[in-house]
Chains A and B, each alone.
Chain A
Amino acid sequence: MLKVTNVGKAYGKFTALENINLEVADGEFLAVMGPSGSGKSTLINVLGLLDQSYTGEYLLEGKNYKDVNDNELSQIRGDQLGFVFQNFKLLTTYNVYENIEIPLIYSKKKQSKKHEMVEDVIEKVGLTGKEKNRPSELSGGQQQRVAIARAIVNRPKLIIADEPTGALDSKTSKEIMEIFTKLNEAGTTIIMVTHDSEVAEYAMRTVYIRDGRLYNDEKSVKNHD
């Protein structure tokens, strides 16, 4: 699915990522763990083609998008990637249906097909009947379901989730992780940032970030200390 070779990222003099090497296979479910400020969000912004100002090489499905124009990047994000952000990032003035529909606005599909796709994911995440509700009328778990529905409505190959359970209690977190597991079983590749080791257990593999460096197991992080 993707291959990262010697990727680095600096904010001025501050090095946020350094010498990152990572390979994720098709259909994998990867958890990225690390303390706050270690560079997790920075890394997945690069992986999600949201941030193009990195050094080193990043190949998504074998293609380097570093010098691809903005329109093509937008199209890839819309068609092949699905984001679940920390704190849901829903549009508060839009209802559930309208929030989930956003990725479809920018894809060339028939209106009837779009409607079908939205209804399909609403059912998948268990929000049937809540279409007309505003995010403020939903619980945290329900809001995160809306965010997941929005991420998967376009049937992406890769889901990138930044702390999808960060704002949820452990019971709700579990429900959300069950949705992720199902999606992964259906063939979707998932990269998920978390600092909850219980949540990370749902993933096949976990990598660790500390001070912008990537480690393949917890021990090596500790050895580094």
Chain B
Amino acid sequence: MTDKIMIALKSIGKNKNRNFLTMLGIIIGIASVICILAIGDGFTHTVTKGMGNHNTRNKVILQWEPTSDYNTDGGFTPNDASALSKIPGVDHVKLTSSVAEAGAKVQYKTKNVSIGLNKQPKHLSLVKGTYFTMTGASNGVYISEDLAHKLFKENAINRLISIDGTVFEVQGIYHISEMNYRPDAYVSKQIFKELFANQISKDQAKLYVKADANKKQVGKTAVQRMKKMGEQKNTGRYSVSNPDTVSKQFTRILNDITYFIAFIAGISLLIAGIGVMNVMYITVSERRKEIGIRRAFGATSGDIRNQFLIESVVLCVIGGLIGIIFGYIFVAIINAFLPFKAVITAYSIILSLSVSTAVGLIFGFIPSNKAAHSELVGLLKEE
């Protein structure tokens, strides 16, 4: 094989200028392919890295949404989770919540209010009272100005209120601005965990799938199953959630650009292919004497066809290699302007070389076949 490639290289070297011009199309085409793939790969790389744990590579996220505004508590139950984990392709299931607050009922004398409540944050600026981190099973509570107005006529500090039947003492009042959303009340971390955390409705089920699983199929099956046997199917609706809509939009724009460049690459490869075909036709007709001699000395028509096919492939692969080099240069230039780093992967190199080979095979085939099947006596009359 190496000697056949040497023969091909030799005869390509005979017509350097002509062959270089023929290669130009391939060089441009392959350089574009390299650039597209580098930008695409760089982008996906950056996006998936930026998303960190949110990357949805190995999981399907199932959502429960309430169907009415009156009864918004609900989601997935442990029974649902075990049903979901039995779906083929699912490894294990985790229930989480899209909101961090627990729903609770506050009572003060005769007043009843439904609130959202959470564990206290590290820092909080108050309008009344002093803020500190409550330790242990402290029964202190910080409430919003709003809630204070609803419950008390005046002076809320140190008053006792009942939240879901447990008594708490108001330690301070904070303001909720339009810009900054906060729950209605904060309790200590430990109390929150002990009394309220389990009340947070698990409206998300994360289905961790096995490596070979079809995520789309898993999602579909999961929704079907929950519709039939979900414990809270009557109060809510199940669906597969797509957390990365933003990056999806980006990807769509990128895809449009990619299609455009791919279109240019395709056109230039097509033109290159026609150029290769043309130059191979010329080569074949210039070398009729050589073909005749080889045939007279034992070459089969297959040998001749292969010789010219190899030549056409070698021509294209050389073009491809030069294209790859140009691709590297262009990517280096592009990277100076891009907000992320375009990367050339081994895959894109392999793809480029495969495409070059394919162009050589496809467009070299007809001329090579012509060479192989020329009439022998006629060939030997050539000088």
Q: What is A's interface to B at a CB cutoff of 8 Å?
A: 45, 48, 50-51, 70-71, 74-75, 77-79, 83, 85, 87, 89, 91, 93, 102-103, 105-107, 150, 154
Contact = CB atoms under 8 A, between A and B. Distances in A.
Given A89-B289, A89-B293, A93-B10, A106 B303 contact: yes
A74 B380 contact: no
21 contacts: A45-B377, A50-B376, A50-B377, A50-B380, A51-B376, A74-B300, A74-B301, A74-B303, A75-B298, A77-B295, A77-B296, A79-B298, A85-B296, A89-B289, A91-B293, A93-B14, A102-B293, A103-B298, A105-B3, A106-B300, A150-B297
Contacts of B296: 48, 50, 77, 83, 85
Given A93-B11, A106-B303, A77 B380 contact: no
Interface of B: 3, 10-11, 14, 289-290, 292-303, 376-377, 380, 383
Nearest to B372: A70
Contact of B298 (A85, A87, A93, A106): A106
A107 B377 contact: no
Nearest to A111: B3
Contacts of A107: 298
Given A87-B383, A102-B297, 9 more contacts: A45-B380, A51-B376, A74-B303, A89-B289, A89-B380, A91-B289, A105-B3, A106-B298, A106-B299
Contacts of A85: 296, 380
A106 B302 CA distance: 11
Q: Which of B3, B299, B302 has the most CB of A within 10 A?
A: B299
The 6 closest A-B pairs by CB, nearest first: A78-B298, A106-B298, A103-B297, A74-B300, A71-B300, A51-B377
Contacts of A70: 300-301
Given A51-B377, A89-B380, A77 B10 contact: no
A62 to B, nearest CB: 21
Contacts of A87: 383
B376 A102 contact: no
A202 B247 CA distance: 89
Nearest to B7: A105
A50 B298 CA distance: 11
B106 to A, nearest CB: 94
B369 to A, nearest CB: 13
A74 B299 CA distance: 6
A2 to B, nearest CB: 17
A74 B372 CA distance: 12
Nearest to A52: B376
B301 A77 contact: no
A206 B131 CA distance: 126
Contacts of A103: 297-298
A150 to B, nearest CB: 7
Contacts of B10: 93
Contacts of B297: 77-78, 83, 102-103, 106, 150, 154
A93 B3 CA distance: 16
B379 to A, nearest CB: 9
Contacts of A51: 376-377
Q: Which of A83, A87, A89, A91 has the most CB of B within 10 A?
A: A89
B127 to A, nearest CB: 95
Nearest to A93: B14
A20 B295 CA distance: 26
B151 to A, nearest CB: 99
Q: Which of B10, B14, B294, B302 has the most CB of A within 10 A?
A: B294
Contacts of A93: 10-11, 14
Nearest to A85: B380
Contacts of A74: 295, 298-301, 303
Contacts of B292: 89
Q: Which of B11, B289, B297, B376 has the most CB of A within 10 A?
A: B297
Contacts of B303: 74, 106
A70 to B, nearest CB: 6
Nearest to B297: A103
B298 A77 contact: yes
A152 to B, nearest CB: 11
Contacts of A89: 289, 292-293, 380
Contacts of A150: 297
Contacts of B376: 50-51
A77 B376 CA distance: 12
A79 B10 CA distance: 27
Contacts of B383: 87
A74 B14 CA distance: 28
A87 B380 CA distance: 11
Contacts of A45: 377, 380
Nearest to B290: A91
A43 B84 CA distance: 86
A58 B289 CA distance: 27
A87 B293 CA distance: 12
Contacts of B377: 45, 50-51
Q: Which of A75, A87, A102 has the most CB of B within 10 A?
A: A102
A93 B14 CA distance: 8
A77 B293 CA distance: 11
Q: Which of B289, B292, B296, B303 has the most CB of A within 10 A?
A: B296
